[in-house]
């Protein structure tokens, strides 16, 4: 069965309360994805989901098979994909517990297979990545957030390697580079989706103050638990409004 809309769900996916009505084990030319295709119900509509870190959250960011995940959604007909990502807040304009919709990114990762094309057919293909996130889909996410009564922050997503969190000096560097938030999974996801002509955008949940940015000596684990719940509830409210709109539009 084909699904026009897909979700890649990450840390905190349990807080979304998705109604999973079917699981479809899937193989791809690039290996097995992180999870089966999870079919989530939003009223009368169905969307295809992948649990980025596995259903038991056992895959660290640098070991995720991003190619298999994106290809599996492509195989199931997905043309619009929303990445649900947990991020650390760098900018003072973004507070933990709030939502963010990045409009730009800087890739600081390494060693990740980031393309479906390796020139083995004698052709080198370049994609236009001026705008790494689809502007129309970003606007629809923002509209659904505002309709749900939630403010959103825009800005630049710093994609770092993980799984460790950053040093205060590294966050200082990211801020000097113009980054608003820091996460570990939007790359190579965004580039792979672009190669397959899938409209891709991120609805991020800020779940902690980035290193050196919080008031005082904060317990990072307590922050994550607290703000994953708050951000998950907001993201769920956004999806409840957004998914029927996207599915109805085809």
Tell me if 159 is assigned to some domain.
yes
By CB neighbour count within 10 A (0-12 exposed, 13-18 middle, 19+ buried), where does 28 fall?
middle
Which residues, 6 or more positions from 91, have their beta carbon under 8 angstroms from its beta carbon?
153, 155, 175, 180, 181
pTM, two decimal places: 0.94
Domain encompassing residue 167: 5-114+129-249
- CATH number, domain of 239, equals 3.40.50.1580
Task: Kindly give, in sequence order, each residue whose CB lies less than 8 Å from that of residue 241, ignoring residues fewer than 6 positions away.
Answer: 144, 147, 148
Number of domains observed in the structure of the chain: 1
Asked if 86 contacts 185 with a C-beta cutoff of 8 angstroms, the reply is no
Report if residue 14 sits inside a domain. Answer: yes
β-strands 199-209, 80-89: how paired? Answer: parallel
Is 228 within a domain?
Answer: yes
Give Cα separations from 167 to 172, 177, 197, 223 (angstroms).
9, 15, 36, 17
Residue 64 lies in a domain: yes
Query: Does 121 map to a domain?
Result: no
Q: pLDDT tens digits for the chain (250 residues)?
A: 788 999 999 866 666 778 889 999 999 999 999 999 999 999 999 999 999 999 888 899 999 999 999 999 999 999 999 999 999 999 999 999 999 999 999 999 999 998 988 766 557 778 999 999 999 999 999 999 999 999 999 999 999 999 999 999 999 999 999 999 999 999 999 999 999 999 999 999 999 999 988 776 567 777 777 888 888 889 999 999 999 999 987 6
In a domain, 212, yes or no: yes
pLDDT in tens, 17-66: 788 899 999 999 999 999 999 999 999 999 999 999 998 888 999 999 99
Q: What pLDDT sits at residue 15?
A: 65
Q: Is residue 233 part of a domain?
A: yes
How many whole angstroms separate alpha carbon 136 and alpha carbon 201? Answer: 9
Asked, for residue 181, whether it belongs to a domain, the answer is yes
Q: How many angstroms separate the most distant Cα atoms in the chain?
A: 56
């Amino acid at each position: 069965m084909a699904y026009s809309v897909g979700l890649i769900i990450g840390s905190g996916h349990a807080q979304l309360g998705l109604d999973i009505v079917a699981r479809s084990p899937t193989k791809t030319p690039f290996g097995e994805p992180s999870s089966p295709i999870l079919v989530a119900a939003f009223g009368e509509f169905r969307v295809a989901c992948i649990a980025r870190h596995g259903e038991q959250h056992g895959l660290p960011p640098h070991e995720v098979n991003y190619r298999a995940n994106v290809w599996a959604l492509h195989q199931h007909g997905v043309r619009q994909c929303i990445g649900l990502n947990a991020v650390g807040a760098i900018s003072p304009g973004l507070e933990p517990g709030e939502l963010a919709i990045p409009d730009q990114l800087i890739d600081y990762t390494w060693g990740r297979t980031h393309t479906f094309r390796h020139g083995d057919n004698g052709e080198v293909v370049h994609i236009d990545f001026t705008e790494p996130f689809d502007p129309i889909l970003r606007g629809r996410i923002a509209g659904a957030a505002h309709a749900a009564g939630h403010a959103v922050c825009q800005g630049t997503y710093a994609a770092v390697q993980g799984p460790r969190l950053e040093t205060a000096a590294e966050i200082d560097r990211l801020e000097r580079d113009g980054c608003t938030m820091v996460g570990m999974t939007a790359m190579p996801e965004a580039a792979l989706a672009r190669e397959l002509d899938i409209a891709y955008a991120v609805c991020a949940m800020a779940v902690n103050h980035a290193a050196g940015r919080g008031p005082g000596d904060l317990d990072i684990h307590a922050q994550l638990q607290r703000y994953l719940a708050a951000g998950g509830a907001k993201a769920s409210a956004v999806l409840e409004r957004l998914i029927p709109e996207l599915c109805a539009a085809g």
